[in-house]
Amino acid sequence: MEQTSSTGRPVQITVTDGYDLKGFKGDTPVTFIRAEFNQVVLGDSAKITVSSEGTAKYNFTVSFEFNPEGGIALDDLAHKPVFLTMTEVLPKEKKQKDEKTLVLGQAVVDLLPLLEGESSFQTVVPLHPVPGSPLETIRPGVKQCSLEVKVFVSEPLLTSAQISGGNLLKVTLEAAYAVPESFMPIGPLQNYMVGLQVPSFGEKDYPILFKNGTLKVGGEREPVPRPKKWPIANILAPGANNIPDAYIVGGPYEEEEGELNHPEDREFRTQAECIKKRITWDLESRCYLDPSAVVSFQKRIVDCRLWPVEITRVPLTAAPKGKVGKLDKTEDESQLSFHGVAYVNMVPLLYPGVKRIRGAFHVYPYLDSIVYEKTKCLFSLFRDTGHHLIQNNKVGGIISPQSKPVIAKNLKEDKTIKEKDMQTLSIKSQSSDTPLEAEPSPYHNPEGQQYLEAGTYLVLEIQLDKALVPKRMPEELARRVKEMIPPRPPLTRRTGGAQKAVSDYHMQIKNISRAILDEYHRMYSQEVTKLGKEMDNETLEEQKCQLNYELNCSGKYFAFKEQLKHAVVKIVREKYLKTTSFESQEELQTFISELYVFLVDQMHVALNQVMPDDIQGAVSTIYTSSEQLRLFAFEAEVNENFEMAAVYYEERLVREPQNLEHWLDYGAFCLLTEDNIKAQECFRKALSLNQNHIHSLLLCGVLAVLMENYEQAEIFFEDATCLEPTNVVAWTLLGLYYEIQNNDIRMEMAFHEAFKQLQTRITKQKSTGTLEYLEEGRKMESSLDPLGMTNGSSAIAIKVEPPAAPGAEGTLSILGEFLEESSRLQSDSQEQSPDPNSSRKLSNVFVKEISVKKETSKCQASSAVLNPGPYYGVSQTPTTIFMETIRFLMKVNAVQYVHRVLAHELLCPQGGPSCEYYLVLAQTYLLKKDFAKAEECLQQAAQMDYLNPNVWGVKGHLYFLSGNHAEAKACYERTISFVVDASEMHFIFLRLGLIYLEEKEYEKAKRTYLQACKRSPSCLTWLGLGISCYRLEELTEAEDALSEANALNNYNAEVWAYLALVSLKAGRQLEAEQAYKYTMKLKLKNEALLAEIHTVQETVGFGNPSF
């Protein structure tokens, strides 16, 4: 500990004034004040007469010496207040030698500001009446009696190093509930004590003791808020026991850090805290930790996660005169009874930003072997080092704060006792080479065993003034994110830029075209009226030449050119940014060629707006929405046409470059194709558009981990938890990151917080009486797909050969789409499930406390949430933080992360894998095209939930991809027969329809594709419907369906092929030849279909221009 000075420094306490005072006799009593500190009287004030207004001027100053080396230290200032006792001096009566005095009340001055770096402070403290004092009867509207006090030291007691590195520990013991029935309020008086030790000076430990607990029989709950009390005995005024501005406020069980904080514990705790016996203390003890002690405190938590808090009962006996404090050692040990211990997990104090833990902790019998195993503690606070505690446990043996006028003697005696205890402790710990050789049996402590049988637990709070591990502030995290990814606001539109130049060019083209048309009508209006549509090309060419001649001769041609010149110059300057001379003739010619092409194209655009072609005007333009483009991209993905999928994604980005969801979709597609660099660019672009978007932050963090940028990953994940503290996925991903970094403590912190947020959400859902999907991981889905599509790849609608190119395994990621829906579907199949273990698994929802063994910390931390049973009941939401994270990761194709999370899900000690777990595992095998293992997982899923449509849908995909179309057909038909749809029906209909077409069941195929067209129309759904109608000889319906397919995607060779067949059957030679031309141009790969076209062409005698 850093010492401030080798000599003592006085601490002055000055009582200046008293307010609203009154005495036993008269309105102007004579009073004086006695100041006491550390059980020593510091002095008495002069006798002052109170004025008629109730005020008194005392101006009374006392002091004591602060000397850390051999007297009052910082720790004394932390937990010992100054007592100011006001006494009234009564008038002398006849024949009375001495003055008679009566105590009016006591005031308490807390010296804690001196430990906060203050050198002086002023306060007004209430004067608490003693029993029978006239100050007790305060009339309504009358102020409470008070004293004005000033505290002063010449310079701060703490150095700058102590202020920055030191800390203040506060331990509050509230009560012990559900104590053994053998504890009786009648009979011999008992002193109920609780104690623990904290690191203090060097290797020494500082004992914190709570004595004189009050045994109550129960019957009502302890009130909240209620004041905390000083751990000091024999305070005269009851109100002076209360620490100023310190209250026990309680709180929900679920938010506690202890052991009995699960929903299944609520009923027991309610009974224990309302009905059963309890021992109450409501005491707060403080301990100042200097910088070296803070380091020892942190190291002790890392080495021993559980700290023992002992509880015992010692009888109160009257001390014989002249033998106070003298007791034989054998008698000491015999008086120690009901020795128990609670194990407090101190690890949360090492979580970033955590300063307080509060909770209920089970009391177990004190057994040396178990205590050593859990806490590495070799001695007992009460039994091995606490004999002097029992020696002072006499009636009247607790020293009154007024009884000793000398301070130095008491300090020296206390210090000598502590040093002897510490030496004994050190000798014992050093000489105990085999501390566990002669351990008692588990039932050697029968009295302590009663705690376990009764379910006794302690409720206590441990609080620090400053967090041991600082937490990054949200402002700092936001600043770091901005530094990595600067925000990019949308650019403002320029009114006079390139767009305006092109618009002006269009306007001039329209004006000139109208003028030329007027000139043409002037010259040939009669001839046009006469011939009409019978005018041949030769006549038109002759009129064109004559018109050019007239325009040149009249000078109108040059006028039109000058009219257009200014618009062309603006295009050159604004669009092509050409304002200087060209360096070479070649550069000039290249630019002129490029400009000419652009001007001609824009001329056609303008002319089509003024004089649209009749045929083109008859064709309606089908606008594809962003959702449709996304669906088309999925279909391209599952057909392994990644180039076409990229085109659709990029088209969405071109349409709406400021839509961050489009960037997230494109990034997920890049993850599917294993292009992590481009995926990172997409996610960062989305984050730059909105730096408070949680999913963008999480995905940037995921990519940072995949690319081993761990420092950036931590920033992204922490910022996400700060922006949305209730986000379960964010906390879980942060925990997974800490696991990669081998930071067990922070990993447990993140998983614990995720579990707590999940429990809060489940409790809230139950309280409202509604059961909804968990929203984490679904915000992206709901905003991205109004068609009901889930984010991920889709199942293919055509047969896929087993060999796959690199990255093609992402084709199967549509199977992950069944995860979200399976959660809901399991609730519908619960009542019908034949699984006999369902009722057992339903009860396995939550786990108990995390184990203290470091070697199993990762496994136990993962088990903070039990894997739920496979069925969803109406009254509960069976999910885990890990399964919810898996859903999120599967939607964005982050399969590398999924394996790690599945391992955590599997390590849950109770409940076992769920149906959803096996569906995810089956998907991972399908991605590797390991069909055998995937089938095993699906068999397990089917056994858990036989009536889950998602299970049958995935099994259908498995058989379809492996080439077993008969089994796939059966699975698909079973899937669509359920009342509740599977999570993704689009590709089930596509594949089932394809199987029907292969088996020539055209009516069934038509009905199947019709359902698909109604749900989510696409090129493939209309194509399947068109093929079905064509095979049924319904040529009109076939042509309509194929036309819809062609309008949605005119690059599909198979659509053109069937349009060619329909045109051949309908006898339309021009359309047949045009459709066949595009079929060949797009390189139709279906040889059988191409052969069929050739056969029909030979039959009808046309359709192939090459004949």
pLDDT band at residue 427 using 50, 70 and 90 as cut-offs:
very low
Q: Taking residues 982-995, what's their average pLDDT?
A: 89
Q: Is the pLDDT of residue 759 over 90?
A: no
Lowest mean pLDDT among 31-35, 531-535, 679-683, 796-800: 796-800
Higher pLDDT, 492 or 582: 582
Q: Is the pLDDT of residue 786 over 90?
A: no
Q: Which residues contact 1058 (CB under 8 A, 6 or more apart)?
A: 1023, 1026, 1027, 1030, 1038, 1042, 1089
So what's the pLDDT on residue 984? Answer: 81
Cα separation, 235 vs 955, whole angstroms: 77
Q: Is the pLDDT of residue 404 over 80?
A: no
At 1070, list the tokens: 């021009």
Higher pLDDT, 912 or 281: 281
pLDDT band at residue 791 using 50, 70 and 90 as cut-offs:
very low
Beta bridge partners of 90: 100
Q: Is the pLDDT of residue 415 over 60?
A: no
At 803, list the tokens: 């060999």
Per-residue pLDDT tens digits for 618-636: 444 556 788 889 999 988 8
pLDDT band at residue 518 using 50, 70 and 90 as cut-offs:
confident
577 phi-psi bin (left φ>0, alpha ψ -120 to 50, beta other)? left
pLDDT band at residue 1045 using 50, 70 and 90 as cut-offs:
very high
Contact 361, 342 (CB under 8 A): yes
So what's the pLDDT on residue 416? Answer: 41
So what's the pLDDT on residue 838? Answer: 35
Q: Is the pLDDT of residue 822 over 50?
A: no
At 1083, list the tokens: 């390189």
Q: Is the pLDDT of residue 835 over 60?
A: no
Q: Is the pLDDT of residue 994 over 80?
A: yes
Q: Which residues contact 471 (CB under 8 A, 6 or more apart)?
A: 352, 353
Q: For the residues of 946-987, what is the DSSP string, one character each?
A: TT-HHHHHHHHHHHHHHT-HHHHHHHHHHHHHSSSPPS--HH
Per-residue pLDDT tens digits for 849-869: 333 333 333 333 333 322 333
pLDDT band at residue 586 using 50, 70 and 90 as cut-offs:
confident
Q: Is the pLDDT of residue 6 over 60?
A: no
Q: Which residues contact 1043 (CB under 8 A, 6 or more apart)?
A: 1059
Contact 630, 652 (CB under 8 A): yes
pLDDT band at residue 8 using 50, 70 and 90 as cut-offs:
confident
Total Cβ atoms within 10 A of residue 125: 20
Higher pLDDT, 1055 or 474: 1055
Q: To which residue do tokens 């047969």 refer?
A: 799
Residue 346 DSSP code? -
So what's the pLDDT on residue 908? Answer: 64
So what's the pLDDT on residue 665? Answer: 93
Per-residue pLDDT tens digits for 706-756: 999 999 999 999 999 999 999 999 999 999 999 999 998 899 999 989 988
Q: Taking residues 894-904, what's their average pLDDT?
A: 86
So what's the pLDDT on residue 396? Answer: 35
So what's the pLDDT on residue 342? Answer: 94
SS3 313: strand
Q: Let me know if 440 is exposed, middle or buried by CB neighbors in 10 A (0-12, 13-18, 19+).
A: exposed
Cis peptide before 225 (omega within 30 of 0): yes
So what's the pLDDT on residue 736? Answer: 93
pLDDT band at residue 262 using 50, 70 and 90 as cut-offs:
confident
Per-residue pLDDT tens digits for 631-673: 999 888 877 788 889 999 999 999 888 899 999 999 999 998 8
So what's the pLDDT on residue 852? Answer: 32
pLDDT band at residue 433 using 50, 70 and 90 as cut-offs:
very low
B/e letters for 586-599, b = 16+ CB within 10 Å, e = fewer, are eeeeeeeeebeeeb
Q: Which residues contact 509 (CB under 8 A, 6 or more apart)?
A: 564, 602, 603, 606, 607
Q: Is the pLDDT of residue 808 over 60?
A: no
Per-residue pLDDT tens digits for 227-236: 999 888 888 8
So what's the pLDDT on residue 1029? Answer: 95
Q: Taking residues 84-92, what's their average pLDDT?
A: 87
Cα separation, 422 vs 1058, whole angstroms: 95
Phi, psi of 726 (to 5 degrees): -90, 5
Q: Taking residues 473-496, what's their average pLDDT?
A: 73
So what's the pLDDT on residue 897? Answer: 83
At 476, list the tokens: 């700092």
Contact 808, 672 (CB under 8 A): no
So what's the pLDDT on residue 426? Answer: 40
The number of helices, as runs of H, and strands, as runs of E, in the chain is: 40, 23
Per-residue pLDDT tens digits for 144-161: 889 999 999 988 888 888
So what's the pLDDT on residue 969? Answer: 92
1012 phi-psi bin (left φ>0, alpha ψ -120 to 50, beta other)? alpha
Q: Is the pLDDT of residue 461 over 90?
A: yes
Cα separation, 35 vs 45, whole angstroms: 8
Lowest mean pLDDT among 384-388, 860-864, 948-952: 860-864
Q: Is the pLDDT of residue 579 over 80?
A: no
Per-residue pLDDT tens digits for 502-512: 888 888 888 88
The CA-CA-CA angle for residues 705, 711, 712, to 5°, reads 70
Q: Which residues contact 430 (CB under 8 A, 6 or more apart)?
A: none
Q: Taking residues 950-974, what's their average pLDDT?
A: 90
Q: To which residue do tokens 């198979």 refer?
A: 1054
Residue 402 DSSP code? T
Q: Is the pLDDT of residue 699 over 90?
A: yes
Cα separation, 827 vs 832, whole angstroms: 10
CA gyration radius, the chain: 43
So what's the pLDDT on residue 703? Answer: 93
The CA-CA-CA angle for residues 953, 955, 961, to 5°, reads 105
Per-residue pLDDT tens digits for 151-190: 999 888 888 888 888 899 999 999 999 999 888 888 788 8
Average pLDDT, the chain: 78
Nearest to 371 by CA among 359, 390, 384, 358: 384
Lowest mean pLDDT among 793-802, 885-894, 921-930: 793-802
Contact 957, 934 (CB under 8 A): no
Nearest to 814 by CA among 935, 930, 668, 948: 668
53 phi-psi bin (left φ>0, alpha ψ -120 to 50, beta other)? alpha
Work out whether strand 128-129 and strand 226-229 pair parallel, antiparallel, or are unpaired: unpaired
So what's the pLDDT on residue 408? Answer: 34
Higher pLDDT, 70 or 812: 70
Per-residue pLDDT tens digits for 311-360: 999 887 655 544 444 333 333 444 678 899 999 999 999 888 899 999 99
